[in-house]
Amino acid sequence: MKVYALFLTFLVCLRPTLASNFFQLPSPWGWACEEDKCVKKSAGGITSLLTLNTCKITCGPAGALWPLPTMATVGNEVTNFLPTNLTHSLTCGAGGDSCQLLQEAVAIFQDNLHRYHPNYKNGSAPWVGPWDPSTLRHKLHLDVTIQGGDGILTLDTDESYELAVSTVESVTTAVIIAPTFFGARHALETLSQLAEYHETTNSLVLVTNATVSDAPAFKYRGLLVDTSRNFISVGVLERTLEGMASTKLNTLHLHLTDTHSWPLYLPGLPNMAYYGAYSPSSIYTPQDMRHLQHYARVRGIRLVPEIDAPAHVGNGWQWGPKEGLGNLAVCVNQEPWQEFCVEPPCGQFNLANPNMYTVLGKVYSEIYDIFNSLDIFHFGGDEVNLNCWKTTNEIVEWMTANNHSLTDEAYYEQWGIFQEKARQLLADAAKSKGMNEPTGMIWTSHLTEMGRELVYLNKSKYIIQIWSTGDDPVITKLLQEGYKVVFSNHDAWYLDCGAGAWVGEGNNWCSPYKGWQAVYTNSPHRLAMELTGNEYKDAILGGEAALWTEQTDDATVDAKLWPRGAALGERLWSNPSTSWYSAELRLIHHRQRLMNRGIMADRIQPEWCHQNEKLCYL
């Protein structure tokens, strides 16, 4: 103690020339957990103060766990250890490649521990001692059992898990028991959040005792990324999957194609991307997609590809006449766009051309070649502009020749018939690979209104994705008719809102920006309750936040998705009855974890608020 005081005096005397050494001194600040909050205190002489990270993972009823588990008891004690000291015993009673996936998930878990180091880079972290012998000795042992499942995520997969952490002398054991691989990997995420970097000893701290029993509130917990308005590289999609994995989201909905561009390279239909990609470097090869599918699965995530039709097609479909197939799409890039579509550029399928179905069938079959297994496929199906079809000679003549009238309803009927044909083409593509027909997903549209849904959309075959506002009577109707739905109401879950306009000036159509609080507060059960007096727990499969990318590309995807995607994650996993206010401290810390994982998430408060809990209130 005396030596230390002498050292301090020495430093203070020398400080004009040793300014940076000054910071080798212990910080003047430390933290204490008081009433479930980390309180910053002057460290003068008090020995029981914690570092900020240690306080964060031990203070409050659930430490800094995100999303909040169904039940959790988190101890107050921590032990220091090095992430290299990790052992595991895996008991795998599951089929498929579950056991191989689990091995991979354990490696990812270990990497995520290394990522807590502030100087982690390219897969490794510079752990430098000297360490206390007890730190060096301490070991984390994983004891994981998965009881069943086949390694494929479906809407019936049991994603629950049990996690028990206990410490005896120099070994902390984490016992994980889960019905499937997916529950087990969620448990590893939770376990990784019971650890943190220890700021003053260059090691990790780990909670010594914890019990967690956890399962998701919703089966479908999604994020949508649109890769057509702007191209999003494979690396950025990987990063998006990392963020989703850390938040226990389980569905990446890829809106792969639209009128703007067609980035998906189909070996059997190379013209699609050749004509439709923004450039030769803005394409996804089949290998890219297969890689992403596996990258996602080992992180507990399914890919849902969307090939939007019969509207939202255009670039990539221009080669029909040249190949003797006629116009596959009409109104492509037609002007003035306001008359033929909702945003430039326009384009819709040519319903009058039977070759369109031949090509579409081929697209679906290529999709199956790439993805091999799909439990959900998204047909798109929104924003058909009747005026496009009504002003296209070829279509009008065909309608007349086939004795259809030219009323709106007649066009809706043809759209409905198109949808049924598309579904059969997809079912055929699945069958030819020996697979079951996937569940179809489709956006709310004119086809889901006025009772048309009952005529054209079989409720056992389709899930309806709601993108209107949360108080839209269409929701009531769909729920009462017995449709399964996924919520993406744009007034809370469209992540592109609030920027400047991209046509004209002012702000974009769905402004203002949806803060994380609005994302968090948006509860599908509550919306259903308000509209119908019933929560419709069985019909509501879950929710999804959508990032339409008119105004986003690789450079800024992360900040648009995160940490708001994490707010979504807790709504869909925990479905809390409490408000955003009680989640704030954990979210602020989880955002720091996302950064550790290499995600350039937006900051939502000054760092001062991270260090001074509950003082940034209104």
Touching another protein, residues 295-314 (CB under 8 A) = none
Applying CB under 8 A, does 500 fall inside the site for another protein?
A: yes
- Judged by CB under 8 A, which of 503, 529, 534, 578 binds another protein? 503
- Judged by CB under 8 A, which of 170, 373, 582, 611 binds another protein? 611
Applying CB under 8 A, does 552 fall inside the site for another protein?
A: yes
The H-assigned helical ranges of 321-385 are 355-371
- Judged by CB under 8 A, which of 274, 355, 416, 461 binds another protein? 274
Q: How many residues does the chain have?
A: 618
CA gap 79, 139 in Å, rounded? 10
Site string for another protein, 193-212 (x = CB under 8 A): ------x-------------
Residue 319 φ/ψ region, left for φ over 0, alpha for ψ in the -120 to 50 degree band, beta for the rest: alpha
How large is the angle between the packed helices 393-401 and 408-432, nearest 10 degrees?
A: 90
- Judged by CB under 8 A, which of 1, 23, 130, 401 binds another protein? 23
Q: Could you check whether the bond before residue 263 is cis, i.e. omega within 30 degrees of 0?
A: no
CA nearest 94: which of 143, 144, 142, 141? 144
- Judged by CB under 8 A, which of 6, 25, 417, 450 binds another protein? 25
CA gap 163, 177 in Å, rounded? 7
Applying CB under 8 A, does 10 fall inside the site for another protein?
A: no
Q: Which residue has the tokens 């890769």?
A: 227
For the bound state, the minimum distance from the C-beta of residue 380 to another protein, rounded and expressed in Å, comes to 17
Residue 439 vs 552, nearer CB to another protein: 552
Q: Which residue has the tokens 């009747």?
A: 386
For the bound state, the minimum distance from the C-beta of residue 222 to another protein, rounded and expressed in Å, comes to 21
Is 383 a known active-site residue?
A: yes
- Judged by CB under 8 A, which of 93, 321, 451, 606 binds another protein? 606
User: What end-to-end distance do the CA atoms of the chain give, in Å?
Assistant: 44
Task: Please give the structure tokens belonging to residue 283.
Answer: 């394409």
- Judged by CB under 8 A, which of 4, 9, 10, 27 binds another protein? 27
Applying CB under 8 A, does 28 fall inside the site for another protein?
A: yes
CA nearest 392: which of 317, 310, 313, 332? 332
- Judged by CB under 8 A, which of 6, 15, 36, 471 binds another protein? 15
389 CB neighbour count, 10 Å cutoff: 27
For the bound state, the minimum distance from the C-beta of residue 332 to another protein, rounded and expressed in Å, comes to 12
- Judged by CB under 8 A, which of 54, 58, 172, 261 binds another protein? 261
Residue 126 vs 482, nearer CB to another protein: 126
For the bound state, the minimum distance from the C-beta of residue 381 to another protein, rounded and expressed in Å, comes to 21
Applying CB under 8 A, does 529 fall inside the site for another protein?
A: no
Residue 287 vs 436, nearer CB to another protein: 287
CA gap 257, 306 in Å, rounded? 7
Applying CB under 8 A, does 8 fall inside the site for another protein?
A: no
Report whether 342 contacts 377 (CB < 8 A): no
Question: Of the listed pieces 11-19, 156-164, 170-178, 179-187, which binds another protein according to CB under 8 A?
Answer: 11-19
| Rg of the chain over all Cα atoms, to the nearest angstrom | 27
Residue 335 vs 471, nearer CB to another protein: 335
Question: Of the listed pieces 236-244, 361-369, 440-448, 507-515, which binds another protein according to CB under 8 A?
Answer: 507-515
Applying CB under 8 A, does 333 fall inside the site for another protein?
A: yes
**418 to 457, contacts with another protein by CB under 8 A?**
none
DSSP 346: P
Question: Of the listed pieces 104-112, 337-345, 376-384, 569-577, which binds another protein according to CB under 8 A?
Answer: 337-345
Applying CB under 8 A, does 537 fall inside the site for another protein?
A: no
Applying CB under 8 A, does 240 fall inside the site for another protein?
A: no
**345 to 364, contacts with another protein by CB under 8 A?**
345
- Judged by CB under 8 A, which of 50, 153, 236, 283 binds another protein? 283
Q: Which residue has the tokens 């989703």?
A: 244
CA gap 102, 131 in Å, rounded? 31
Secondary structure tally for the chain: helices H, strands E:
21, 21
CA gap 330, 340 in Å, rounded? 10
Applying CB under 8 A, does 130 fall inside the site for another protein?
A: no
Q: State the catalytic residue, choosing from 159, 189, 306, 383.
A: 383
For the bound state, the minimum distance from the C-beta of residue 496 to another protein, rounded and expressed in Å, comes to 11
Applying CB under 8 A, does 231 fall inside the site for another protein?
A: yes
**52 to 111, contacts with another protein by CB under 8 A?**
none
Report whether 337 contacts 348 (CB < 8 A): no
The H-assigned helical ranges of 402-469 are 408-432, 452-456
For the bound state, the minimum distance from the C-beta of residue 322 to another protein, rounded and expressed in Å, comes to 6
**107 to 126, contacts with another protein by CB under 8 A?**
118
Applying CB under 8 A, does 47 fall inside the site for another protein?
A: no
CA gap 559, 5 in Å, rounded? 46
Residue 361 vs 515, nearer CB to another protein: 515
238 burial class (0-12, 13-18, 19+ CB within 10 angstroms)?
middle
Report whether 79 contacts 167 (CB < 8 A): yes
CA gap 155, 159 in Å, rounded? 10
Applying CB under 8 A, does 262 fall inside the site for another protein?
A: no
List residues bridging with 72 in a β-sheet.
212
Report whether 246 contacts 105 (CB < 8 A): no
- Judged by CB under 8 A, which of 507, 534, 537, 578 binds another protein? 507
Question: Of the listed pieces 171-179, 348-356, 357-365, 608-616, which binds another protein according to CB under 8 A?
Answer: 608-616
Question: Three-state SS string across 479-499, please?
Answer: HHCCCEEEECCHHHHECCCCC
List residues bridging with 163 in a β-sheet.
176, 212
Residue 68 vs 604, nearer CB to another protein: 604
For the bound state, the minimum distance from the C-beta of residue 608 to another protein, rounded and expressed in Å, comes to 4
Question: Of the listed pieces 304-312, 349-357, 371-379, 606-614, which binds another protein according to CB under 8 A?
Answer: 606-614
Applying CB under 8 A, does 469 fall inside the site for another protein?
A: no
Residue 283 vs 486, nearer CB to another protein: 283
Report whether 443 contacts 449 (CB < 8 A): no
Q: Could you check whether the bond before residue 16 is cis, i.e. omega within 30 degrees of 0?
A: no
Residues catalogued as catalytic = 383
